[in-house]
Amino acid sequence: MSKSNLSAMVRTLRYEAAGIMSIELVPAPGRSTPFPAFTPGAHIDLHLPSGLVRSYSLVNAPGEANRYVLGILADPKSLGGSRFIHDNFRVGMTLDISEPRNHFALDETAEHTVLVAGGIGVTPILCMYRRLRALGRHVKLMYCARTAPQAAFVDELEALGGDITYHFDDQHDGKPASLAAFLSGQPAGTHAYCCGPGVMLDAFEAACADAGIANVHIERFAAAPDAPPPATSEGYVVTLAKSGKEIAVPAGATLLDTLLAAGIDAEHSCMEGVCGACETRVLDGCPDHRDSVLSASERAGNKVMMICVSGCKGGRLTLDL
């Protein structure tokens, strides 16, 4: 859970495409706390009445005061998150949300940017595209969906103009777009971003490597298919720097579960190493990174870790908790 939850009210629910609706959230009546500002690529957690916590990207313009807009796909494989939202959310209802977090941040200074969206992955990509167009940056976008009726926010994209390519699989005998063709020949220093299903992200990373694009940014909806399981095989000792407490993490337990069981109010949300809510600063020791959030350089730096799935390579860790 987040220590700094906000109370929000659903002001608008809107059909955006087949299986996709947008939700506009505003501060709950009587709450004086304004919504914090956010940056393109950011997401928030929704705390559902069932106790589930789910993360969704913000679609609207970062400069808009006091409202967050999300796009939510009714995932047929939903375990109670998106399906619950589609079936049960009503205008006027209130719920807790987290402050925005951003592990998919946009480099607004890039000379050239390429954006690729797959399905509901358009939500952070639209936010980025809008921002880059407002700044007058050079940007091109590819938006892929299975069919045109399943593509959300097309009107908003069209209103922004610019260099947008659409690819609807059903118009190409069910074949996905060629990301290699789209990404080839980009200028030096290009930043490339992709949000979509795992298979698309894997193809995107491979195409970027082939095209020589070094500045690659991706956001996953779920743990990477090749992500290792949570680190639970070794026991170790964690020192919490703020209190000086030492806590033994037994073999078979995750660090987060052990801290929560010890009464430590550690922030968390997805528990799968995807959302970034549990990011914790590492003051000493070597984490065993198992998440799908940190980049290779962030892992190598060992300055932060996701305590829900990551563990310890040595016998001791000191955390900024």
> Which residues here bind ligand FES, judged by CB under 6 A?
268-271, 273-278, 291, 293, 306, 308
Pick between residue 125 and residue 274 the one whose CB is nearest to ligand FES: 274
Pick between residue 27 and residue 276 the one whose CB is nearest to ligand FES: 276
Smallest distance from the beta carbon of 307 to ligand FES, in angstroms?
7
Q: Please count the other Cβ atoms lying within 10 Å of the Cβ belonging to residue 60.
A: 20
CB 186 within 8 A of CB 110: no
CB 128 within 8 A of CB 117: no
Q: Please count the other Cβ atoms lying within 10 Å of the Cβ belonging to residue 13.
A: 16
Smallest distance from the beta carbon of 306 to ligand FES, in angstroms?
4
Which residues lie across from 1 on neighbouring strands? none
Q: Which residues of 215-228 are buried (b: 16+ CB within 10 A; e: fewer)?
A: ebbbbbbebeeebe
Q: Please count the other Cβ atoms lying within 10 Å of the Cβ belonging to residue 169.
A: 15
Smallest distance from the beta carbon of 99 to ligand FES, in angstroms?
14
Helix (H), strand (E) at residue 106: none
Pick between residue 123 and residue 310 the one whose CB is nearest to ligand FES: 310
Smallest distance from the beta carbon of 279 to ligand FES, in angstroms?
7
Q: In what order do the strands lie in the sheet with 53-57?
A: 53-57, 43-47, 94-97, 6-17, 20-27, 68-73
Instruction: Tell me how far apart the alpha carbons of residues 91 and 9 are, in angstroms, rounded to a whole number.
Output: 8
Instruction: Tell me how far apart the alpha carbons of residues 291 and 283 are, in angstroms, rounded to a whole number.
Output: 19
Smallest distance from the beta carbon of 287 to ligand FES, in angstroms?
13
Look at phi and psi of residue 30 and say left if phi exceeds 0, alpha if psi is from -120 to 50, else beta.
left
Smallest distance from the beta carbon of 124 to ligand FES, in angstroms?
16
Pick between residue 160 and residue 260 the one whose CB is nearest to ligand FES: 260
Pick between residue 115 and residue 274 the one whose CB is nearest to ligand FES: 274
Smallest distance from the beta carbon of 267 to ligand FES, in angstroms?
8
Pick between residue 110 and residue 270 the one whose CB is nearest to ligand FES: 270
Pick between residue 190 and residue 280 the one whose CB is nearest to ligand FES: 280
